[in-house]
């Protein structure tokens, strides 16, 4: 492997160390931050991610409020749970884990979250700030995975200003908000946002200084597609079977051969996933500070 490793596990640990200090300061003032999760159904990936979020919270002194509903819960039950989380003073912020069971209206669920408690940064009011607040500092929570991608690059001194970033995937949680974030003043990347109808994806990727793959197609990005020295972030993850040990076999969006061509590569697991969780905690701590009147 020639590419340098964009180590999300180590970077997330450093961020958690910083957050632990801020949580201790809040607790000293009698403010106890709490992270809520609402999980509907039994998707194994979702269960694993939600478990990780609560483990991280415990590590830095953030309380956990976990609400799990069965796969056959009604839309009314989901919305009742959202209203309880909105009203619960122990919940500083919470997320509605996606995807919701097939047929359930995800947009309606995201809109029902109190924007002040939306630590996913996915409420339309908060996503709207990414579009409308182009110039100034924004104080609303940023979507966790896009923010995690930028922070992972920043903490490895990989700059994006003036560079060409090709994002693969236009989904709500990663590609679409990442494009908005990258083109903000002060970040200043030039972005190509590609998707399933892009005509020649390989040609787009070849022009990229930075590639972010967030589609959930195993090993989509091939070594021949990558400009030598480019930075590559492998965001997507797909369960591709079960190992003899019983553990899920996971595959990222980036072919392992890319490590021979890229200048920087985020491992998967151990790259953007832990950063997503660190940014979620960062949003919770910032929300608690805002609620306590701390700048």
Provide the annotated binding site: 169-171, 237
CA distance 186 to 57: 30
Identified catalytic residue from 16, 97, 227, 253: 97
Contact status, residue 145 vs residue 201, Cβ threshold 8 Å:
no
**What letter would DSSP give residue 254?**
B
Identify which of residues 218 and 270 has a Cβ nearer to ligand GUE in the complex: 270
Q: Taking the complex as a whole, how short is the minimal distance between the CB of residue 49 and ligand GUE, in angstroms?
A: 4
The residue of the chain with the least Cβ separation from ligand GUE equals 273
4 is catalytic: no
Helices 44-60 and 272-291 sit at what angle, rounded to 10 degrees? 50
Identified catalytic residue from 7, 16, 43, 53: 53
16 is catalytic: no
Identify which of residues 170 and 227 has a Cβ nearer to ligand GUE in the complex: 170
Write out the residues near ligand GUE by the rule CB under 6 A: 48-49, 52, 95-98, 120, 144-145, 173, 268-270, 273-274, 276-277
Identify which of residues 31 and 112 has a Cβ nearer to ligand GUE in the complex: 112
Instruction: Extract the annotated binding site for NADP(+).
Output: 169-171, 237
CA distance 151 to 147: 6
135 is catalytic: no
Identified catalytic residue from 118, 120, 253, 255: 120
Among 156, 218, 144, CA closest to 6? 156
Contact status, residue 108 vs residue 124, Cβ threshold 8 Å:
no
- Number of CB atoms found within 10 A of residue 244's CB: 6
SS3 assignment, position 234 = strand
Identify which of residues 142 and 158 has a Cβ nearer to ligand GUE in the complex: 142
Task: Return the active site residues.
Answer: 53, 97, 120
């Amino acid at each position: 492997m020639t590419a340098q490793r964009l180590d999300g596990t180590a970077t997330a640990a450093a961020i958690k160390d910083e957050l632990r200090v801020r949580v201790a300061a809040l607790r000293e003032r009698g403010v106890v931050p709490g992270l809520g999760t609402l999980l509907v159904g039994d998707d194994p990936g979702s269960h694993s991610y939600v478990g990780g979020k609560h483990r991280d919270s415990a590590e830095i002194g953030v309380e956990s409020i976990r609400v799990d509903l069965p796969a056959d819960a009604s839309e009314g039950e989901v919305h009742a749970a959202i209203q309880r989380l909105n009203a619960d003073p122990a919940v500083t912020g919470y997320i509605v884990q996606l995807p919701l069971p097939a047929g359930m209206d995800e947009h309606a669920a995201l809109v029902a979250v109190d924007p002040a408690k939306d630590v996913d940064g996915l409420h339309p009011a908060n996503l709207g700030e990414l579009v409308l607040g182009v110039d100034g500092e924004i104080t609303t929570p940023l979507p966790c995975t896009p923010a995690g991608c930028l922070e992972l690059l920043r903490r490895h001194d990989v700059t994006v200003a003036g560079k060409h970033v090709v994002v693969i995937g236009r989904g709500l949680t990663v590609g679409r908000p990442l494009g908005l974030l990258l083109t903000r003043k002060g970040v200043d990347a030039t972005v190509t946002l590609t998707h399933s109808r892009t005509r020649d994806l390989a040609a787009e990727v070849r022009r990229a200084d930075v590639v972010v793959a967030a589609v959930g197609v195993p090993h989509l990005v091939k070594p021949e597609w990558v400009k030598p020295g480019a930075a590559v972030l492998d965001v997507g993850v797909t369960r591709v079977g079960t190992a003899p040990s019983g553990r899920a076999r996971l595959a990222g969006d980036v072919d392992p051969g890319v490590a021979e061509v890229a200048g920087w590569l985020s491992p998967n697991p151990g790259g953007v996933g832990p950063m997503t969780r660190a940014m979620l905690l960062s949003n919770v701590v910032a929300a608690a500070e805002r609620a306590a009147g701390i700048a």
